[in-house]
Chain A
């Protein structure tokens, strides 16, 4: 069979298998084993455990559970609420400042925790009722938190970026840096929209300015600063060349757990176990997908599919921006159904040669891909964040949450367009700090 036709068949079967409700990792193993048996015979399965083992035999992967532990430790404390309060107390002079503090808290907390749903829950639990109480429209209150939560997969340290780095063999440090300015751009766009909408449709209370004394402002800082110091320290250690991402993440994980124990008195074995259990669950789930995606990639290349697709795209006479547009639509659709990690592991190894041949920067592409995944997090049918918000604010109808989130999807699309026009938004910082990529 022609490898291209076979590739199409693999794509269709993969979609069918994944939609059948089987877990993503097991689904990838099923598709890989099925096609290998049909086209290469039963004996071709002999190599699969070795390929699976080989894919996991990578020191860089250690950073995944470590950053997850870091996030889980922070998420299990009151740090989210403290962060929210701190920003609230410091940003009260801006009319409509509450939504700004919420988005700021989301940006910082999502970077700390690396988890979209955890951010929505931590900030939203306090932020949404407070915003509604003060007259902010329900849509803005819910939408801003849902969208703010998605920032965690873009702003460093991000597990999604690590997974992209591993899948495409690109520098994780450089990827982290590439996410910084687009992350700030997104936060600014989110804030601009929220303020515009609030000023237009919010009640008079919204514009009222609250006053906090300097004592109130300063007393909250000791509870928030230590976590920020750890994150800055971890990033400094990475870029200062002190240690690898995995090593710094391990130290970061240890320090965050210690801080949670000391600062938030989280010393009961039960609460520590919850952190460990959640981290294990999340890490194992991701690592299993990584191993299975390795087997999937082996099947694709062993049946000559990957090579044929890359060759075929090379012969196509299409404008590279049309190509990028098609890739974006494809990623967007994939992101509607699948978690970011799965999309990246399945598509990045195939897409990377295509986009580099078309002259795009792989680090810039990582940012574009990640923003596409962020859109998936607040869009139906899966849209995890929408359901988390629905869980913490059950009296806001899901349709209001959805309508409130839509403009933020618009902001993300604007960000993608801006990044296409000015790719330097993603590439300038890594180029400036680490020199141009080879």
Chain B
């Protein structure tokens, strides 16, 4: 379902902090992409072991799932940077520029608050798994703090990109919802 449409990217207006956050999000996206490649490779290896070598597999299925979760979490800031999180711009398009900016500031601020809460409680979840030495109840029995780490790290980086987007909006580096005056 890759879309051949033009890709919009977050604007930083030359601000070095915003530029750095954008770079961090891009790096995070590259890591996410390679985690997906790794998941493909491990799945193929698993099929080879199971169907060609007729052997049983122990860690592969779980590992692939954790890699996908990590890829999703690390991909969040990158997709935000590329404006790839799908949204409905119906209301912003109907509003005049001034109100549109107010709406953008409000929605971004609420999003920041909620993602901040996900980061806070995500960190608690990770910390509990880490301090109590929780393990998954499978043959592999992996230490759960490892896959759980993706949650606070992913939400943390996503939060950072959202804050950068809010700053870019307030500093006037970016138009609200990246829409022009006419709504295009």
Tell whether, in the assembled complex, residue A117 and residue B51 are in contact, meaning their CB atoms are under 8 Å apart.
no
Chain A interface helix/strand/loop/mixed? helix
Partner pick for B36 among A50, A65, A273, A388, CB 8 A cutoff = A65
Residues of A within 8 A of B44 (CB): 250-251, 254
A284 at the interface (CB under 8 A from B): yes
Partner pick for A337 among B1, B90, B124, CB 8 A cutoff = B90
Partner pick for A339 among B2, B80, B86, B177, CB 8 A cutoff = B86
Tell whether, in the assembled complex, residue B1 and residue A114 are in contact, meaning their CB atoms are under 8 Å apart.
yes
Tell whether, in the assembled complex, residue A59 and residue B61 are in contact, meaning their CB atoms are under 8 Å apart.
yes
Tell whether, in the assembled complex, residue A26 and residue B115 are in contact, meaning their CB atoms are under 8 Å apart.
yes
- What's the minimum C-beta distance from B140 to chain A, rounded to whole angstroms? 14
Tell whether, in the assembled complex, residue A48 and residue B69 are in contact, meaning their CB atoms are under 8 Å apart.
no
Tell whether, in the assembled complex, residue A247 and residue B46 are in contact, meaning their CB atoms are under 8 Å apart.
yes
Query: What total count of A-B pairs have CB within 8 Å?
Result: 205
Partner pick for A18 among B61, B76, B78, B88, CB 8 A cutoff = B88
As a 0/1 sequence over residues 69 to 100 of chain B, the CB contacts with chain A under 8 angstroms (1 = contact) are 10110011011101011111111100000000
Tell me the complex Cα distance, A381–B122, Å: 37
A155 at the interface (CB under 8 A from B): no
B37 at the interface (CB under 8 A from A): yes
Partner pick for B40 among A242, A250, A273, CB 8 A cutoff = A250
Interface residues of A in 154-193 (CB under 8 A from B): 159
Tell whether, in the assembled complex, residue A33 and residue B1 are in contact, meaning their CB atoms are under 8 Å apart.
no
**Interface-forming stretch among A83-91, A260-268, A274-282?**
A274-282
A243 at the interface (CB under 8 A from B): yes
B104 at the interface (CB under 8 A from A): yes
17 additional contacts (CB under 8 A) given A66-B40, A280-B79: A21-B89, A22-B111, A30-B110, A48-B118, A48-B121, A49-B122, A56-B68, A113-B1, A118-B3, A242-B51, A279-B33, A280-B71, A281-B7, A282-B1, A283-B75, A285-B84, A388-B4
Interface residues, chain B, with chain A CB atoms under 8 Å away: 1-5, 7, 29, 32-33, 36-37, 39-40, 43-44, 46-47, 51, 61, 64-65, 68-69, 71-72, 75-76, 78-80, 82, 84-92, 103-104, 106-108, 110-111, 114-115, 117-118, 121-122, 124-125, 147-148, 151, 155, 177
Nearest 10 interchain pairs by C-beta: A284-B75, A23-B85, A278-B2, A72-B2, A250-B43, A49-B122, A287-B72, A115-B1, A21-B92, A281-B84
Interface residues, chain A, with chain B CB atoms under 8 Å away: 18-27, 29-30, 33, 45-50, 52-53, 56-59, 61-62, 65-66, 68-69, 71-72, 75-76, 113-115, 117-118, 121-122, 159, 242-243, 246-247, 250-251, 253-254, 273, 275-289, 291, 337-339, 342, 381-382, 388, 391
Q: List 21 A-B contacts (CB under 8 A).
A: A20-B91, A20-B106, A21-B91, A26-B115, A27-B87, A56-B65, A56-B69, A58-B65, A61-B65, A65-B36, A68-B2, A114-B1, A121-B4, A247-B47, A250-B40, A280-B71, A282-B2, A283-B36, A283-B71, A283-B72, A287-B68
